Structure 1
Amino acid sequence: MEHDLMLCGRILLSVIELEVTDGIECQVYMAREIKTGEIVALKKIRMDNEREGFPITAIREIKILKKLHHENVIKLKEIVTSPDGNKYKGGIYMVFEYMDHDLTGLADRPGMRFSVPQIKCYMRQLLTGLHYCHVNQVLHRDIKGSNLLIDNEGNLKLADFGLARSFSNDHNGNLTNRVITLWYRPPELLLGTTRYGPAVDMWSVGCIFAELLHGKPIFPGKDEVGCSLLMSFLLVGIVGEILLTKCT
């Protein structure tokens, strides 16, 4: 059964598949735009714990996405609300272009290993999209495989700007270090810094690159201490091998 969603008093969308993803952070649905037949994705804006109106994090995400227009950044098409009379009553949704896969989903397929040309293609698109964000003074702050969406033609787009923040080169204010999924979080954030810039995104990109080549995450710590120790052992091991080679 399809349920209509409304925008400014007119029917815009019908939900055709429920819960494409249903995680702790967000719910995403597949829908069809009635007028054009285009398939789109709906991301529900969580209002559960909001007592003072529209959540500031959603306002920030919408504001950032509205100013970003690039082939490797997911496109925000509309904001829609659901009318009374169906199971989505009172819901507010962000409407995005639909992408067929995410990088983590592809990588987790049994026996899946990306070829070198595929890795080059994905990394070029990731770096191009992220460079565009940084030039426009936006930190993504949550680069990971599940936030890299890919269509059936191999086009990659950066998605989920829920933790993104605008920045300026002359701004020295503090930012939270409780960002970026743990396995992709750089050492400076693990050590507590609150002043950082685009380099934190680039560390995450490096983790993605290594993961594509290696076939699994390279810093799969269970907590912040575990990730810090794993990074230290790997880095010290590399330095030790270099010194040993020079000594012999």
Structure 2
Amino acid sequence: MVFLGLNEMTGELMAVKEIKLTCAGDEKTMLIAALEREIVLYKQMRHKHIVGMLEKFGAFSESLVRVYTRQLLLGLEYLHACRIVHRDIKGGNVLVDRDGVVKLVDFGAFKSFHEGTVGEGCKSIRGSVFWMAPEVIKGEGYGRRADIWSVGCTVIEMLTGR
């Protein structure tokens, strides 16, 4: 879960991710390793459409959805140019700051792809089921296009409030 937090020393608003380590053994070790990878990624990524503050709303107007979708796609374009597939794009991982700037958060399921690949070789199922592309659910190779599918699901979520 990602929450809006306040740094009491600086007064700065920030995203706070809550982690519940209810697992043990190898599963716990793997979860901690994934979190460490996510932290490294956050330190490397610098883009105005990545990370920010949290507010929750109902359905948005079509004009606002167009603005937010464009910004979300710009952030996603940056990630893909950095050879990163997010793999968990959904409304809960899209934050909007008080200036209306969209930020993409929660890179816990990300996958990087290497030179010479097109980013379509991921086969493990990661992400949130209701936003998953069909090829992800089928366990077929997938990549950047699955992120675009998830953006489409997120657009529907913004338009309907559900």
**TM-score normalized with structure 1 length:** 0.56
Q: How many residues align?
A: 158
Of 48, 51, 61, the residue aligned with 1:115 is 61
Point out the structure with the larger helix share.
2
The residue aligned with 1:189 is: 136
Q: What is the rounded CA distance, in whole Å, between the counterparts of 1:100 and 1:178 in structure 2?
A: 26
What whole-Å deviation, never above 9, does each CA across 1:54-105 have from its counterpart, x for those lacking one? 811111111211111000001xxxxxxxxxxxxxxxxxxxxxx5x141xxx3
8 Å contact kept, 2:3–2:15: yes
Q: Secondary structure at the match of 1:143?
A: coil
Larger radius of gyration: 1
Length-normalised TM-score, structure 2: 0.82
Change (3 A) 1:183 1:38: same
2:111 alignment partner AA = R
Q: Distance in 2 between matches of 1:33 and 1:118?
A: 32
| Unaligned runs of at least 5 residues, structure 1 | 1-25, 75-96, 108-112, 218-248
Q: What aligned pairs does 1:192-211 form with structure 2 within 5 A after superposition?
A: 192-193=139-140, 195-211=141-157
CA distance in 2, matches of 1:191, 1:46: 29
Q: Which runs of 5+ in 2 are unaligned?
A: none
- The residue aligned with 1:159 is 105
Higher strand share: 1
RCO (CA 8 Å, sep 6+): is it higher in 1 or 2? 2
Distance (Å, rounded) in 2 between the aligned partners of 1:185 and 1:176: 13
Give 1:55's aligned residue: 32
Alignment partner of 2:150: what SS? helix
Q: Percent identity?
A: 34
| Corresponding residue of 2:57 | 106
Pick from 155, 168, 175: which aligns with 2:122?
175
